[in-house]
Structure 1
Amino acid sequence: MKIYNKITGLFILLIGSIMLNSCDENLDLDPLYSQDAESYFNTPADYERALVGAYDLMQTSYLNLWIGEIASDNAIAGGESVNDTQGLHEIESMNHNAINNELRSVFQFNYAGITRTNYLFINKDNIDFNGKEALFGEAHFLRAYYYFQLVKYFGDVPLVIDKFLGADEVNSIERSPASEVYAQIESDLIQASEVLDWTVSVEGKVTKGAALGLLGRVYLYQDKFAEAAAVLEQIIDEGPYSLISVASSEEYASLFSVSEEGNSESVFEIQYSGQEGGSYGCLVCLEGFAAVGFQGIRQYEGPVYGDGNSYNLPTEDLYNAFSLTDIRRDGSVLNLDEFINAQPNAADISYAIGGGGHTGFYNNKYIKRQDELGLPDTDLTSPVNYRLIRLSDVYLMAAEALNRSGANDAKALEYLNAVRERVGMPALSLSGSALTEAIWAERRLELAGEGFRFWDLVRTGKAAEEIEGFTAGKNELFPIPQIEIDLAGGNWTQNPNY
């Protein structure tokens, strides 16, 4: 199946409107099309609805999860055939180029989100109202999030802040240096963290912890270890979060279930609903988390799980990276044949293998389960939230920052062992470079299947030795989509070696 790009180009978005009416029925503008830029932003409700529109593009995070795993040694693309979402197969093989539907979607979706947040800032001074400061704190976070996706994928990208581009600017805009993009991301997240509270009354809204967590990640990706440690430890010391001890693989997997959404380990989740339908022709229109259904077991008939499209299949290499005593192995990676053989009616259980590749393993954190089905098409409408920032990730990022800054190996070890001990793994006693390697290894195990592995390998310089087909000096970045270069009048140079 093909993923259709509803949004038709960066520059159309930047010149055009906020697209408030797009696919999000929650905005419920009435009567339809009766308001334009000049007649909008006259009430607090207008700002809140525009903010909902800015949040909406976060729901395209299924692409970040897929690419973050498939581009690494953690997973293969899978699917019905090698032509089923072909761009993912190209990324898996490291032979992707500037014509790739999935990479173009990443580019478009994130600029759509930026356009929506910029629209809020353009109209910031129209009126004053209670809660305005916090609302714009959320907008700062969202703009930072979208730019962070772009800069980590593509490096230098156009930096457009608090404005739309006029027609005369389309062919002259330049790619801004990644350092300038990162500086803007940091500025937005600092502003967000200064005005947001640790807790909110509306589920899914950005909090102070979310802003600090993303800021810590942004610092870490730039090797700003002292800055990362400071904000990440603030979350640990001051935030309302706590690690949850689990005693079995089932308990660990349940941390990603609908019933455990918003638990004490969750710093920020991207929200999804199983109550609205959608279509394969417009995955950006979905209110459900597409990754869950697509990662289900093809033509599966049996207990617990639901049938799906066998995307993003974990590798044997990932499965074997876990210790036999680590409950996270089976909590994170489903060994399907082993699961079936353990059932009392094993002979009655069946499934199919897709032509896009088969490993025998499935993503057990984000997989369709029979007690978590959305309506009407269960492949498209999973209600499972995407855990964007978890406390265990914060602990491991803080550990790495403290260790690599040379500031406090003892504290770094404490944070590493806290993550291990909560799942029954023995404490380690390491320091220096050995501790660094242990932290990186722990990140792979703790965050398996969550979409961070490729970026971790790139930022730590490990990608070339761990990813088959990875070319140093090239594959650290993805190519700028050719159509975006064309829309920019051909002024942009392509990323190196593409």
Structure 2
Amino acid sequence: MKYLKHILLIILAGTLCTNCEDNFLDTPPNDRIVSEKFWSTDNDAILASNAIYPYLLQDAMTYAMWDGMSDIGHVTLQWRQESLVEKGAHNAASSKIAQVWAFAYEGIQGANLFLANVDNFEPADPALIDRLKAEIRVIRAKLYMDLAMLFGDVPLSTSELTLEESLELTRTPIEEVWNFISSELTAAADVLPTTQSETGRITKGAALGLKARALLYAKRYEKAAVTAKEVIDLGVYSLYPSYENMFGYAAQNSNEVILDRQFTQNVNASNIYDILTPNSIWPQRNDLVPTKQCVDMYKMANGLDIMDPLSGFDPNNPYTGRDPRLGYSIFTLGSVLPNGQIYDPRPNSGTGDAIGSSENSTYSGFNVKKYLTPEDNPDPNNCGINLILLRYADVLLMYAESKIEANDIDQSVLDAINEVRGRPDVNMPAISGIFDQAELRQIVRDERAVELAFEGLRYFDIRRWRIAEDLTGIIYGMTYENEEGDLTTIALTGFDVSFNKDRDYLWPIPFNELVLNPNLTQNPGW
């Protein structure tokens, strides 16, 4: 019956149209703005650019799940597509793969449409239009950077495409993609101001910071170091004094934040609190939990590894005397939750966080603390905290890493690392007198792991370092004293992290894309 109704409506519309005047179809719709009439004012360009900004980040779930597919996090619900990636069970038909590809190319097509049309009118403020074009080129370059890191060779399109044209694209060699990203971000940085009057808009520092990241990902270390230094030398960024408060409302738009995805309560809110909060606060979510492998990366406050016999680590009090960033980033046994309750994930503790008490309670005995604030406790789906995509600490560590990998090691490398470690409420011991490349490489990698945990970067780091295959196997959780008084470590039996080094450093090209476009080829092993 519904198909019959549709047919009748079509026939009725056709009958009406045959009796209309010839100019009936030329009547502009009154429920939308047609493209031909839209591009006529500077404000149209501003509105169109605003429509591209959401492509900086798909959503809070995407942000959180990158680390869930790495060694520092675990996806709680095994039916999630990210869980399939975690255990190496994904394939070209996986919806996660298709969604990431589609989102990126939707944003790229939108950016191309903007750039193709924004010059179709005489602007009142040409400098404004130039700035907006630079902002959109940065977003497009970031999308291509994500695609290149995940898929390798990808179709490179810089113009608005018809459906037919899109189905004829071929994959562009990744080195050409990196060249494009670098040149686009360079050109954008030349136009963009160091600060913007409108909060959240892309700046020169954001363009240069993303360029440094792209060059680092592309292993162009000398250029990456130079570009990171350009960001440092802008003189507009500094570390926020409190790591503990940096991911809450108090630090919004601080001088440390270079690029973020802006959210606003009641208008354009995120659900990051809902996604990450422990089960005892908000049941039936808790999508991502930290692993023991992550917790063990945080050294003692004296700078020594917990496995060092001189570190002072106490297995009976494992979270005492540690790098303060552990307590600021992860809920551990005895932590105070945003609702004022004490976090107790021990099995049989009787709390909603007890391991094994429900499908959504923590599997590891840990929960993510970043971005969870008491202000969002009453309404977990109405979070207005911006999600950080690039901050100054990352730039300092990228500078240090690039110099190390280029084997251009000097005191500035140590200074950059120590600036991050020396944040007032972190105050980890300074690194001194170390100029060995291999040793410094491990130091800066460890520093990235703990400084940037749960900010969506670890998955990309372990893949570009080619160490992902070494971080597989059983996931472990908290160590606690059981009812017999013995120390017991949680092991997630029945779930093994898997990574095929001959296949998984590239994601498969989505199956549907291969069906639609026979010019695309598949990555090896898929």
Q: TM-score, normalised by structure 2?
A: 0.78
Q: Deviations over 1:126-153 (max 9, x none)?
A: 1243111111110111111111111111
Q: Deviations over 1:104-134 (max 9, x none)?
A: 1111111111111111111132124311111
How much has 1:433 moved relative to structure 2?
A: 1.5
1:173 aligns with 2:201: no
**C-alpha distance in 2, partners of 1:253/1:288?**
22
Helix, strand or coil: the match of 1:34?
A: coil
**For residues 309-348 of structure 1, what are the structure 2 equivalents within 5 Å?**
309-323=285-299, 324-335=321-332, 338-339=335-336
2:522 aligned residue (481, 494, 497): 494
How much has 1:33 moved relative to structure 2?
A: 4.1
**C-alpha distance in 1, partners of 2:450/2:30?**
48
Give the equivalent residue in structure 2 for 1:263: 254
**C-alpha distance in 2, partners of 1:370/1:133?**
41
How much has 1:267 moved relative to structure 2?
A: 1.1
Question: Does the 8 Å contact 2:336/2:342 carry over to 1?
Answer: no
**C-alpha distance in 2, partners of 1:383/1:245?**
22
Select the structure of larger CA radius of gyration: 2
Give the equivalent residue in structure 1 for 2:427: 424
**C-alpha distance in 2, partners of 1:345/1:410?**
42
How much has 1:166 moved relative to structure 2?
A: 4.5
Q: Deviations over 1:150-173 (max 9, x none)?
A: 111111111111221342x34322
How much has 1:308 moved relative to structure 2?
A: 6.1
Question: Does the 8 Å contact 1:159/1:175 carry over to 2?
Answer: yes
1:479 aligns with 2:508: yes
**For residues 41-80 of structure 1, what are the structure 2 equivalents within 5 Å?**
41-79=39-77
Would the alpha carbon gap of residues 476 and 397 (structure 1) be closer, same or farther in structure 2, given more than 3 Å must change? same
Helix, strand or coil: the match of 1:476?
A: coil
**C-alpha distance in 2, partners of 1:209/1:411?**
20
Q: Deviations over 1:329-373 (max 9, x none)?
A: 011111155547x95898996447542661111111133x33135
Letter in 2 for 1:439: V
2:117 aligned residue (109, 112, 123): 123
Deviates most, 62-71 or 154-163: 62-71
Would the alpha carbon gap of residues 343 and 291 (structure 1) be closer, same or farther in structure 2, given more than 3 Å must change? closer
**C-alpha distance in 2, partners of 1:232/1:344?**
41
Helix, strand or coil: the match of 1:254?
A: coil
**C-alpha distance in 2, partners of 1:194/1:452?**
27
Name the structure, 1 or 2, with higher relative contact order (CA <8 Å, separation 6+).
1
1:98 aligns with 2:92: yes
1:394 aligns with 2:395: yes
How much has 1:444 moved relative to structure 2?
A: 0.3
**C-alpha distance in 2, partners of 1:345/1:94?**
32
Give the equivalent residue in structure 1 for 2:36: 38
Would the alpha carbon gap of residues 114 and 349 (structure 1) be closer, same or farther in structure 2, given more than 3 Å must change? same
Q: Deviations over 1:387-407 (max 9, x none)?
A: 111111110000011121122
**C-alpha distance in 2, partners of 1:212/1:316?**
35
Give the equivalent residue in structure 2 for 1:163: 160
Aligned positions, number: 439
Q: TM-score, normalised by structure 1?
A: 0.83
**C-alpha distance in 1, partners of 2:194/2:333?**
40
Give the equivalent residue in structure 2 for 1:412: 413
Would the alpha carbon gap of residues 210 and 425 (structure 1) be closer, same or farther in structure 2, given more than 3 Å must change? same
**C-alpha distance in 2, partners of 1:426/1:365?**
23
Give the equivalent residue in structure 2 for 1:462: 467
Give the equivalent residue in structure 2 for 1:447: 452
Would the alpha carbon gap of residues 67 and 474 (structure 1) be closer, same or farther in structure 2, given more than 3 Å must change? farther
Q: Which runs of 5+ in 1 are unaligned?
A: 1-29, 247-251, 277-286
Give the equivalent residue in structure 1 for 2:105: 111
How much has 1:77 moved relative to structure 2?
A: 0.6
Would the alpha carbon gap of residues 477 and 126 (structure 1) be closer, same or farther in structure 2, given more than 3 Å must change? same
Would the alpha carbon gap of residues 56 and 344 (structure 1) be closer, same or farther in structure 2, given more than 3 Å must change? closer
**C-alpha distance in 2, partners of 1:32/1:315?**
54
**C-alpha distance in 2, partners of 1:434/1:296?**
36
Letter in 2 for 1:98: A
Letter in 2 for 1:202: E
Letter in 2 for 1:263: S
Helix, strand or coil: the match of 2:36?
A: coil
Helix, strand or coil: the match of 1:267?
A: strand
Deviates most, 212-221 or 459-468: 459-468
1:274 aligned residue (262, 265, 287): 265
Give the equivalent residue in structure 1 for 2:220: 224
1:194 aligned residue (190, 196, 213): 190
Give the equivalent residue in structure 2 for 1:21: none
Question: Does the 8 Å contact 2:245/2:251 carry over to 1?
Answer: yes
**C-alpha distance in 2, partners of 1:425/1:345?**
26
Give the equivalent residue in structure 2 for 1:280: none
Question: Does the 8 Å contact 1:97/1:479 carry over to 2?
Answer: yes
Q: Deviations over 1:83-117 (max 9, x none)?
A: 2xx21110111211112222211111111111111
Letter in 2 for 1:78: T
1:370 aligned residue (357, 368, 374): 374
Deviates most, 56-65 or 463-472: 56-65
Give the equivalent residue in structure 2 for 1:433: 438
Would the alpha carbon gap of residues 380 and 479 (structure 1) be closer, same or farther in structure 2, given more than 3 Å must change? farther
**C-alpha distance in 1, partners of 2:88/2:104?**
23
Q: Which runs of 5+ in 2 are unaligned?
A: 1-27, 300-320, 473-496
Give the equivalent residue in structure 2 for 1:239: 235
Instruction: Give the fraction of aligned pairs with identical amino acids, expressed as a percent.
Output: 29
Question: Does the 8 Å contact 1:292/1:384 carry over to 2?
Answer: no
**C-alpha distance in 2, partners of 1:56/1:125?**
22
Letter in 2 for 1:176: T
Question: Does the 8 Å contact 1:269/1:386 carry over to 2?
Answer: yes
**C-alpha distance in 2, partners of 1:222/1:445?**
23
Would the alpha carbon gap of residues 344 and 398 (structure 1) be closer, same or farther in structure 2, given more than 3 Å must change? closer
Give the equivalent residue in structure 2 for 1:89: 83
Question: Does the 8 Å contact 2:54/2:261 carry over to 1?
Answer: no
Helix, strand or coil: the match of 2:400?
A: helix
Would the alpha carbon gap of residues 336 and 101 (structure 1) be closer, same or farther in structure 2, given more than 3 Å must change? farther
Deviates most, 429-438 or 351-360: 351-360
